[in-house]
Homo-oligomer: A and B are copies of this chain.
């Protein structure tokens, strides 16, 4: 089964030199992958040539004349740059020409454009960003929201849990993945009102056998792998994820400095290079690149802006896996089961409300 993926080739710090190279590498090792490379045709063509991949049967170019930069305000991405590579790539998903989209562009703009073009799924008030982190059980911990929603109500966290559960069920082949609610302690009395009320909603779903709610988890449970999914609001999730990334860089520089500090230490590192490799594989943040924008009527994946080719391929891999495992209909079915259908709204009203809300949210 062929999976078509649209790539916002101009997005990210490095643009086509990373995005096109990653797509070429991926298409060469994955016979079921097909790419629609979106952006400035001449530049993409040149990159394909550089990567010795002209006229590949599973790669085509879709021209787009504008680029959403990292500094562009959401309004500019939404209202001015209508032919941006980001918007065109997302529109390919909407039109059914691609099953998933990958972009390394500005997160806030990507969320706003995706929301505007694709719309949210029935039952979803607010889309969320979900990514994975490594844990001591050698399995991924899925965490959401990582920054799309800085203020959340219990209803939103509840929806994040449902969407996360459907995502993990599809990707990890676990029928009922466990859900932890990020809190300052494990006891029910801990935390603020929002998490306490969210816990009530999740306990009710658990009692009905609809979700596998573990209960409250603490920050250290992310790495213990206590639950498959960790749910939190976008403020807490974003701060925590960035603190973890910052600590990762700090650990890496401490290790590098220590092993380079003397010839003897360098020799030790050389002899133990097997160990160094395995540490680097587990700790390498590139292996965890690729956040899903969940809750939209289409699959969109966000790569880190600074991703290199290797890291960007991981984001493509996540998009490919999600499309292959039909994550979209799994989430949609879960939402239909657990959430009441919303009032139908006229498309125009929905559009305007959606843009305004997105802008007012000023996503991270």
Whether a CB of chain B sits under 8 angstroms from the CB of A259 is yes
A56: CB under 8 A from chain B? Answer: no
Q: Any chain B CB within 8 A of the CB of A234?
A: yes
Instruction: Identify 4 new A-B residue pairs, CB closer than 8 A, beyond the known A190-B364, A266-B272.
Output: A222-B246, A258-B275, A268-B271, A269-B272
Contact B219 A189 (CB under 8 A): no
Which B residues lie within 8 Å of A192 (CB)? 150-151, 235
Q: Which residues of B contact A185 (CB under 8 A)?
A: 364
Does A204 reach chain B (CB closer than 8 Å)?
A: no
Interface stretch of the complex, out of A4-12, A35-43, A60-68, A247-255: A247-255
Indicate if the CB atoms of A254 and B267 lie closer than 8 Å.
Answer: no
The distance in angstroms between the C-alpha atoms of A253 and B79, with both chains bound, is 49
A46 at interface, CB cutoff 8 A: no
- Taken together as a complex, chains A and B put the C-alpha atoms of A280 and B184 apart, in Å, by 27
Q: Does A340 contact B (CB under 8 A)?
A: no
Q: A246 with B275: in contact, given A190-B362, A236-B235, A362-B189 (CB under 8 Å)?
A: no
Instruction: Find residues 230-245 in chain A having any chain B CB closer than 8 Å to their own CB.
Output: 232, 234-236, 238-245
Top 3 A-B pairs, shortest CB-CB distance? A268-B272, A219-B242, A220-B246
Q: Is A202 engaged at the interface, CB distance under 8 Å to the other chain? A: no
- B242–A244 CB distance below 8 A: no
A30 within 8 A of B: no
The answer to whether B235 and A220 have CB atoms under 8 Å apart is no
A349 at the B interface (CB under 8 A): no
Residues of B within 8 A of A275 (CB): 258-259, 261-262, 265, 268-269
User: Main SS of chain A's interface residues?
Assistant: helix
A238 CB to closest chain B CB, in angstroms? Answer: 4
Q: Is the CB of A271 within 8 A of B267?
A: yes
Cross-chain contact of A271 among B219, B224, B253, B264 (Cβ < 8 A): B264
- Which single member of B150, B221, B243, B282 contacts A223 (CB below 8 Å)? B243
Give the docked Cα–Cα distance between A262 and B244 (Å).
29
Q: Is the Cβ of A184 less than 8 Å from the Cβ of B255?
A: no
Nearest neighbor of A185 in chain B, beta-carbon distance:
B364
| Distance between A135 CB and nearest chain B CB, rounded to angstroms | 7
A200 within 8 A of B: no
Assess whether A31 is interfacial by the CB under 8 Å rule: no
Answer yes or no: A155 CB below 8 A from chain B CBs: no
A150 touches B235 (CB 8 A): no
Chain B residues closer than 8 Å to A261, beta-carbon distance? 274-275, 278
Question: Complex: how many Å from CA A261 to CA B255?
Answer: 18
Q: Check if A290 is an interface residue, CB within 8 A of chain B.
A: no
What chain B residues lie within 8 Å of A239 (beta carbons)? Answer: 182-184, 218-219, 232, 236, 240
Closest to A187 in B: B362
Could you say which residues of chain B place their CB within 8 Å of the CB of A258?
Answer: 272, 274-276, 278-279
The interface residues of chain B lying within 8 Å CB-to-CB of A235 are 184, 191-192, 236
Report yes or no: B238 in contact with A262, Cβ–Cβ below 8 A.
no
